[in-house]
Amino acid sequence: MSGLLFVLSGPSGVGKSTLRKEVMKRCPALKYSISCTTRPPRQEEEEGVDYYFVDMQTFEEMKGRGEFIEWAKVHGNYYGTPRRPVEEWLKEGFDVILEIDVQGARQVKNDYPSGVFIFVAPPSLKALEQRLRERHSDPENNILLRMTNAHLEMQSIRDYNYLVVNDVLEDAVDKLRSIILAERCRIR
């Protein structure tokens, strides 16, 4: 029996990473696919834990060899999900969670229509902007770009199976965990 593919996406700064890390503590046998990116690491990020940080040439070569399940240019940088580990884990029966942007989720849905697509939304766009500013990791022009993109990304909610509003972290983690448990119990 193959594993389930969970796709977690939503606007930048909504708390996808925090939710994913917390739910992985509570859901055994859930594998996380680490994405590649061309953007520089933030201060707290680690190579091979948060992302694989690669240069543009390496990313292009990987893309050309078809090594990504999905890839997209987001906020001026490229992101991609390596194909091999995801496919191996699914074949071995592990459930896999991807934490990707809306563009990437559209690509994954084409190849994995039976995936479980979960949109993480902020309680409001004003709250999202406040979160982005409190991170202190982006210059003003990046914050404005992320907010413009957030308006567009929020229009994609109807393309997902589930919506989790990340207002109170513990509640959002409980909802995400409940989705995973329910999908594991679904008769297919």
Q: Give 103's contacts (C-beta < 8 A, 6+ positions apart).
A: 70, 72, 74
Task: Give residue 59's pLDDT.
Answer: 97
Q: Please tell me what DSSP assigns to residue 35.
A: P
CA–CA dist 16, 12 (Å, integer): 8
Phi, psi torsion values for 92, nearest 5 degrees: -80, -5
User: In which band, very low, low, confident or very high, does the pLDDT at 173 lie, cut at 50, 70 and 90?
Assistant: very high
CA–CA dist 131, 35 (Å, integer): 23
Task: State which amino acid sits at residue 58.
Answer: T
CA–CA dist 119, 102 (Å, integer): 9
**For residue range 23-79, what is the model confidence (pLDDT) as tens digits?**
999 998 899 999 999 999 988 889 999 899 999 999 999 999 999 999 988 878 999
CA–CA dist 132, 12 (Å, integer): 8
User: In which band, very low, low, confident or very high, does the pLDDT at 122 lie, cut at 50, 70 and 90?
Assistant: very high
Task: Give residue 136's pLDDT.
Answer: 77
Fold classification of 5-185 (topology level): Rossmann fold (3.40.50)
Indicate the pTM of the whole model: 0.90
Q: Give 90's contacts (C-beta < 8 A, 6+ positions apart).
A: 2, 3, 5, 96
Q: What are the residue boundaries of the structural domains of the chain, listed by start?
A: 5-185
